[in-house]
Amino acid sequence: MDEMIAHSIVRERKVVWLDTLGYLVPYWPKEPNIEKIKLLFTRPESIQNIQVIRFPGNHNRNYLIEYRRDNQLIGKTVLRVVLQLVPCFKTLAEVTVLKWVFDKNILRVPKVISHGASTDNPVGFELIHQEYLEGRPLPFRKEMVLKFVQFYSMTFKTQFAGIGNIFESSMLGNPDSGLVIGILLQEEFYWGNHWEYDVARGPFPNSVEWLNVRLDMKKKDCEIRSATDPALADRTQHIIKRLENLSKRLFEKHAIEPTVLTNWDLSHGNILLNGNEFSGVVDWECTAALPLWLACSLPGFLHGKARTRLPDPTAYNDEFGDRDTNREDYIQHLLEWRRTQLQMDFLCEMGRICPEWVKIYTSPLTRLRKDYELAVRACNEPGVQSDIERWLETVEVGIQNLYCQAPTKEHSDISTLGYSIRSLQDRIWDNTNDSDQARDLVIGEEFPAIKEEVPTKEESLANRKFPAGEEFIAREEFLGEELPAREEFPIGGLFQLGEEFLFLTEEDFLAGE
């Protein structure tokens, strides 16, 4: 893609931003007109009803189009009206991803019927007309998790070169067919006044250049903020300098780095079931080719607090001392426990069909790099700067200690620090844990800390067998399925669960649930 064209199109954008309690949100100059939407269709008389579906978001408006003949419903589609945050490119990138995933035929996604990446239409916005998927948000079900294992394995084995969004070459006016990596449509690059910054927008050849550009944008933010809050600007600049120094120890500067297509918004609400059947996954705008160390992460709907012990319903009582399994904390703990089982299902199956993914995921260097990326993302946020500074100090001291142990080595292997220091994600997401000891490490947003006594291996194995008794009927009704067996998973493997690194042995698998 011609970078000059990308820059000129980005600078054509005209979006008004509203400051809501310190957070910028884009302002819609007008709401799409229903009658004008009808003009887009060749037979508008057959359209009985058009209604807004889901909650209107900041980026898009979604409209359900219902088609009727003789008062009988004959079909539904969805019209996605796109705000021009990045003119042309944002729509083209989402359409490309939808078509790519649709053609792979592993996860069902809405089929793109047509699209328009300009505002030259009756509605006055960019548009994506797509298939309607019937369904409700995903419950906790093992078979759904295994579908995502297949998808993650496929994307890992279908790697790209460079960091950015994918586009069909023909969409960009190129004669060649196939997909190309283009500009990166990460919010950080177009939110608020960032679109005015004279910085590279991709594609980026490697992690170093991608992260350095993001730090450059933070520096520009500091220049603006220094007039109103010089203390915060100075503190941020100091953190940025330390991050730039650390980058040289964490990342190799590849000429072109391998990347994997990654959807960082695979949330619970975007995955649908129709009855007991998987309906599909919607909302793919947050998808780009990202480096392997970041792409090898659990899907978003599996993020959350890990709980290795099944909640004991006898421990949840009302004010009169009677058992109360309707308590919100009991339901929440039950969900956390179930999600933890699904995290293990995901990792075990991924270890069987794509062990290289798990190797990267469990690498201590991956852990450090994810912490570094989080520090880059949040280095100008006052609420977490102290956490970032403590993490940086711990890493810097660790590097110095490694140098003292082997002073003849100019660059010691610092990857082991990923196991020996407390992660930044843990510091930010679990501020109640003040220890810097390795035994207290957790993954944070993916695996926040467990607020309970960690059971022994024998207790863990015993707790996997669900006790019989009528007091547990409510649990089965709530979760809607039996516990999955582990026999189909490979024997042996290191997996991170909460604050523990578990090596699953033959005994573990034979114990089942």
Provide the residue ranges of all domains of the chain, joining segments of one domain with +: 303-363+415-511
Whether 71 has a pLDDT exceeding 90, the answer reads no
Average pLDDT (144-169) is 94
Task: Give the Cα separation of 423 and 401 in Å (integer).
Answer: 18
User: Any idea of the CA torsion for 434, 440, 443, 447, to the nearest 10 degrees?
Assistant: -100
CA angle 377, 265, 134 (to 5 degrees): 165
Confidence at residue 140, expressed as pLDDT on a 0 to 100 scale: 63
389 Cβ contact list (under 8 Å, min separation 6): 239
pTM: 0.78
Instruction: Quote the mean pLDDT of the chain.
Output: 78
Task: Give the Cα separation of 488 and 467 in Å (integer).
Answer: 23
Tens-digit pLDDT profile for residues 24-35: 888 888 888 888
Task: Give the Cα separation of 109 and 247 in Å (integer).
Answer: 38
Whether 375 has a pLDDT exceeding 50, the answer reads yes
Whether 138 has a pLDDT exceeding 80, the answer reads no
Confidence at residue 425, expressed as pLDDT on a 0 to 100 scale: 83
List, as one string, the DSSP characters of 187-208. HHHHSGGGGGS----S-BSSHH
Whether 128 has a pLDDT exceeding 90, the answer reads yes
Average pLDDT (253-257) is 85
Percent of the chain with pLDDT over 90: 39
8 Å CB contact between 465 and 512: yes
Q: Which of 33-47, 106-120, 139-153, 227-241 has the lowest mean pLDDT?
A: 33-47
The separation between the first and the last C-alpha atoms of the chain, rounded to the nearest angstrom, is 52
Average pLDDT (65-77) is 81
- Tell me which DSSP letter residue 115 carries: E
Confidence at residue 176, expressed as pLDDT on a 0 to 100 scale: 76
Whether 351 has a pLDDT exceeding 90, the answer reads yes
pLDDT band, very low/low/confident/very high, at 144 (cuts 50, 70, 90): confident
Confidence at residue 271, expressed as pLDDT on a 0 to 100 scale: 83
Structure tokens given for 422 = 């407390």
If one counts every other C-beta atom within 10 angstroms of the C-beta of residue 397, the result is 13
pLDDT band, very low/low/confident/very high, at 51 (cuts 50, 70, 90): low
Whether 36 has a pLDDT exceeding 50, the answer reads yes
52 Cβ contact list (under 8 Å, min separation 6): 61, 62, 63, 64
Instruction: Please give the residue that has the higher pLDDT: either 313 or 455.
Output: 313
Whether 481 has a pLDDT exceeding 50, the answer reads no
Tens-digit pLDDT profile for residues 319-328: 777 777 788 8
